[in-house]
Amino acid sequence: MSERAAPFHCPYCGDEDLRPSEEGHGAWECAACNRAFRLKFLGLLARGLDRSDTGGDPE
């Protein structure tokens, strides 16, 4: 399984103009809103897929 995960949209502004950040592995920069963020794989959910659209919080 690959650790790479490419976001399709910026989680902050929703733009698609993302590029890998020099900050390191899993870090991305959004050219639209100038934010940098990091994706981290936390693990698999034991309960399986649950299509909830709560959106989650940014932290």
CA 59 to CA 51: how far, in whole Å? Answer: 20
Q: Which of the residues 10 through 39 are near Zn ion (CB under 5 A)?
A: 10, 12-13, 15, 30, 32-33
Indicate the residue among 48 and 56 with the shorter CB distance to Zn ion: 56
Indicate the residue among 4 and 33 with the shorter CB distance to Zn ion: 33
Q: Kindly report the CA angle at 57 between 24 and 32, in degrees rounded to 5?
A: 55
Indicate the residue among 1 and 6 with the shorter CB distance to Zn ion: 6
Q: How far is CA 34 from CA 19, 20, 21, in A?
A: 11, 13, 11
Q: Given the rule CB under 5 A, which residues bind Zn ion?
A: 10, 12-13, 15, 30, 32-33
